[in-house]
Structure 1
Amino acid sequence: MAMNALTCGEFCCLFCCPPCPASIAKKLAFLPPEPSYTVSTEDNGASYSLHLTDRAEFQYSQKELDCIEVFKARTKGGNKICVMFVRCTGPSRYTLLFSHGNAVDLGQMSSFFIGLGTRLKVNICSYDYSGYGVSEGKPSERNMYHDIDIAYYILRTRYNQNPENVILYGQSIGSVPTVDLASRYEVAAVILHAPLMSGLRVACPDTQRTYCCDSFVNIDKISKIKSPMMVIHGTDDEVIDFSHGLEIYDKAPVTVEPLWVEGAGHNDVELYGAYLERLKKLIDTDLPKLQGIK
């Protein structure tokens, strides 16, 4: 989740007018990059084909690229968004529904998905928020909720994934739709990576309560999540302070061991060996034990 620097005048205008949640969201959260991929239709629109540009910096061969399925689906908000399914392994117990961070799109995330899914032996479903990549519409908090809803519906129906086999993964701004969905549906687990308590609490670290002008209010939904939650956060996060991860973990009703990455910032947690080790332990040991699977 990247944020623009606020001048004193902009800050006063944004938070003292008073603002509406949409204005905070627009200023602090959404920075759609130039699309790194295109999608073409085939078979009279029955199927889609993915084409990556150089901006995607794809690190694998055509063989791996052929394991990526893309298609478009219309959300409750009326936007057609792009959904991606990365088949990293054969039959797998779990599938990650991954809500990515800001300033990236599915094309740029595709190599990461293949590497992560292959190492964890899971498949990964992801989607571009409205206004990102080739998804229609404009990014907004409400649209994010519509976007993840259709992605989850597709995962359940098109790919026949039961809730007990779905792991929700939300990174940075992606923690917002992830928390919202998790507060309404029980799944195998919820992973929040560098999550924020709320938009106002990011901009004004001393904020102790939720105001009507706030947006992305994860902290008020955490108590409704019944699924086991793991929180990942770098202790030196320069965008979303480490205190956000600590507070969210503290408020979660059901947790597994968190991952606090000493010295890591907002965008480099994945480079630490502890990141992959902890995720593997979650999938190979923690969840089977919680679910009574031998």
Structure 2
Amino acid sequence: VNQVAFFPPRPPGYHVTEEKQVFLVEADYDLTPLPDLTSEGISVDTVRMWTHRGNVIMGFHFRRVDSTRTLLFSHGNSTDIGIMFHHLRDLSSKLQVDVFAYEYSGYGESSGVPSEADLYADVDAAYHYLTHDCGVPDAQIVCYGQSIGSVPSVDLASRTDVGGVILHSAMKSGLGVIRDVKHTYWFDVFQNAAKIRRVTAPVFIIHGTHDTEIPCEHGKTLYEACPRDMAFDPWWVQEAGHNDIEINHRALYFEHLAHFIKALDSPDRLQGKGLDAENEIENEQGSENGWQPLLGGTAAHNPAYVYEPMKHY
């Protein structure tokens, strides 16, 4: 399963030196410093975390002084947080939210080998960094999972009180990607459809109708499996594939995301679901907890999770 589910890019999209300096790796393999985003009202913290399975993973934290929401971003299976850096910046800038994107074990500059168990350990470490070190309330966290990133996102949302969930080109299960299965089997992996029934936060599903990697039927199954009072109107993106929604439908992509995030702050969060037809948008209705600072901090000691800030320019 691990060999067919995970494709860490080589070389990674970023590099950490022995002096803990962080650089992006460009297409020509040149190293460039992380961009200074202060003119956009964004500061970027780079952190290194230890998971309860013993791996060291990285994270980029985009912060805004005016933000009241944090996207906990789980990326796809053939990219990393360095390659995603500029898109993460756009999410923070255009949606006016904080974004924390963590790396998977075995990806980028993280240690270990990717696996389903490590996905859950990785998102746990990211979640506890946000809640214990940064003091972000659960209700302000919105889990954003793209492709394989839907797996840790749904898992975390099914057992915590996060404020919302965005599933982008998500799978219903691992077996469902390779066979047209209608039921959940005990030996299946990545069991999103089973776990999403336990999610107690609003869920917004985005899926391309021409997705050949994870067919749109997966998104529709997840939408139908969602608790009715938690299912936000999905966006079935006409003629879109698996990796092109945020590219070929960029303006609508950010418009839909902004509408969902705004709806989370409404007293009737799901009463005014979806965007209006007048906007010309195609839309069918339808463990162990803790953190330990290495370089100062005031969080309570617990050896299960460790966090260390990194240097960059």
TM over 0.5: yes
- Give 3-state SS (helix, strand or coil) of 1:266's partner: coil
Could you list the runs of 5+ residues in structure 1 that have no partner in the other structure? Answer: 1-23, 43-47
Higher relative helix content: 1
Answer whether contact 2:24 2:33 (CA < 8 A) is retained. no
Supply the AA of the counterpart residue of 1:227. Answer: A
1:183-198 aligned at under 5 Å gives the runs 183-198=158-173
Cα distance change on mapping 1:138 and 1:60 into 2, 3 Å: closer
Q: Distance in 2 between matches of 1:123 and 1:57?
A: 28
What TM-score does the superposition give when structure 2 sets the normalisation length? 0.78
Structure 1 position 239 matched with structure 2 position 216: no
Match of 1:259 in 2: 235
Cα distance change on mapping 1:53 and 1:61 into 2, 3 Å: closer
Match of 2:56 in 1: 80
Moved over 4 A (4+): 56-61
Deviation at 1:257, TM superposition (A): 1.7
Q: Distance in 2 between matches of 1:290 and 1:26?
A: 45
Match of 1:175 in 2: 150
Which of 222, 226, 239 aligns to 1:248? It is 222
Answer whether contact 2:24 2:34 (CA < 8 A) is retained. no
Deviation at 1:245, TM superposition (A): 0.3
Supply the AA of the counterpart residue of 1:82. Answer: M
Structure 1 position 281 matched with structure 2 position 259: yes
Identity of aligned residues (%): 39
Deviation at 1:262, TM superposition (A): 0.7
Q: Deviations over 1:87-120 (max 9, x none)?
A: 2x32211010000001111110110001111000
Could you list the runs of 5+ residues in structure 2 that have no partner in the other structure? Answer: 270-313
Match of 1:54 in 2: 26
Kindly indicate whether structure 1 or structure 2 has the higher relative contact order, using CA contacts under 8 Å at least 6 residues apart. Answer: 2
- Give 3-state SS (helix, strand or coil) of 1:289's partner: coil
Q: Deviations over 1:114-152 (max 9, x none)?
A: 111100000100111000000000000000000000000
What TM-score does the superposition give when structure 1 sets the normalisation length? 0.83
Q: Distance in 2 between matches of 1:59 and 1:113?
A: 17
Cα distance change on mapping 1:270 and 1:58 into 2, 3 Å: farther
Q: Distance in 1 between matches of 2:169 and 2:210?
A: 11
Structure 1 position 39 matched with structure 2 position 16: yes
Supply the AA of the counterpart residue of 1:277. Answer: E
Cα distance change on mapping 1:160 and 1:210 into 2, 3 Å: same
Cα distance change on mapping 1:125 and 1:110 into 2, 3 Å: same
Q: Deviations over 1:143-165 (max 9, x none)?
A: 00000000000011222110111
Structure 1 position 91 matched with structure 2 position 47: no
Deviation at 1:223, TM superposition (A): 0.6
Supply the AA of the counterpart residue of 2:143. Answer: L
Structure 1 position 70 matched with structure 2 position 70: no
Q: Distance in 2 between matches of 1:147 and 1:41?
A: 23
- Give 3-state SS (helix, strand or coil) of 2:21's partner: strand
Q: Distance in 1 between matches of 2:31 and 2:226?
A: 36
Supply the AA of the counterpart residue of 1:63. Answer: D
Structure 1 position 146 matched with structure 2 position 121: yes
Deviation at 1:210, TM superposition (A): 2.2
Cα distance change on mapping 1:75 and 1:111 into 2, 3 Å: same
Which of 153, 175, 178 aligns to 1:200? It is 175
- Give 3-state SS (helix, strand or coil) of 2:76's partner: coil
